[in-house]
Amino acid sequence: MEIRRLGNLKTALGECPLWHGAHLWLMDCRQGLILALDSDTGEVTARHEAPPPLGSFAFNGDGFDCIVLSLKEEIAALNLRTGRLRSLARIEASSPHLRLNDGISLPDGSFVVGTMHVFRAADEPPLGGLYRLDTRLQLHKLDEGLGVANGPCVNPANGRLHVADSAARVIYSYAFAADGTLADKQVFVRTEVLDSGPDGCAFDTEGGLWTALVRTGALARFDGQGRLTHKIELPLAHPSALCFGGPQMGDLFVTSISDSGRLSASGPLDGAVLKLTGLGFRGFARPVCRMPL
């Protein structure tokens, strides 16, 4: 296995890596940037702006014209050709310390996204929760009580939706019904023993779930029963998210943090994008949204 820096990009809050159209896409959430990188050289091949803080994004349709993205308290569509931003839905909760965070497109074309509510009192329940914007542009609240929702992803083996709560240091799994509702919430794994909350997540083709251990500079892989099978130490302090990509979907790309507003580090690779090759695992290309935009 080889770990190397991809290009010279340094993000404040690198997040939401996404393989689309033979390029690696990602966000710098604090800077309001959506970027595409050449997956071999790391050269920035596309650069788009949206009002920060950003949370996550997904492409709408198979092309490159439009993305669905989460802003502070609303989900919007951004036309990448024209720069036009269109609001699609707004969550019911609002607070200076609440914002939409990580999200993903689902096989049915919808978009699922969770919130983060930080700087809460010890006995203060988190606002927001987990939401789904369906293909009719209707917003549904799926769950609540998540302090920092991260890494939503679908297990290819059983179709269950997995969502991390970084604040609680746990990854939950849910049964995902055909109508988009959730049931049978279970604890998939607790990461307290690894001294970190789980951040971004992705499944490999063998049903293993990979997550970024944001506080300990490492990645972890768990099998379908939630047992730790691999732990990879990284040359940076705060990995934030990951995705599989490359021609055979066998490369793993990792984003990181130099200054998120809560976490910061000043090492030479903090804020960089890493590329891991020779892992021996492959992943999946994510589906795209199918919104009538």
CA separation for the pair 264, 164 (Å, rounded): 21
Helix H or strand E segment including 34: strand 33-37
The sign of the torsion formed by the CA atoms of 273, 86, 102, 22 equals negative
CA separation for the pair 157, 173 (Å, rounded): 13
Helix, coil or strand: residue 168: coil
**Hunting for tokens 């490159």 — which residue is that?**
64
CA separation for the pair 79, 65 (Å, rounded): 6
End-to-end CA distance of the chain: 42
CA separation for the pair 77, 69 (Å, rounded): 6
CA dihedral in degrees (134, 139, 145, 149; nearest 10)? Answer: 50
Catalytic residue among 28, 134, 199, 270: 199
Tally the residues of the chain.
293
> Taking the CA of residue 66 as centre, how many other CA atoms within 13 Å lie in the half-sphere pointing to its CB?
15
The pair phi, psi for residue 181, each rounded to 5°, is -85, 160
**Hunting for tokens 């604090």 — which residue is that?**
30
Q: Decide if 270 is catalytic.
A: no
**Hunting for tokens 């297990």 — which residue is that?**
155
Active site residues: 199
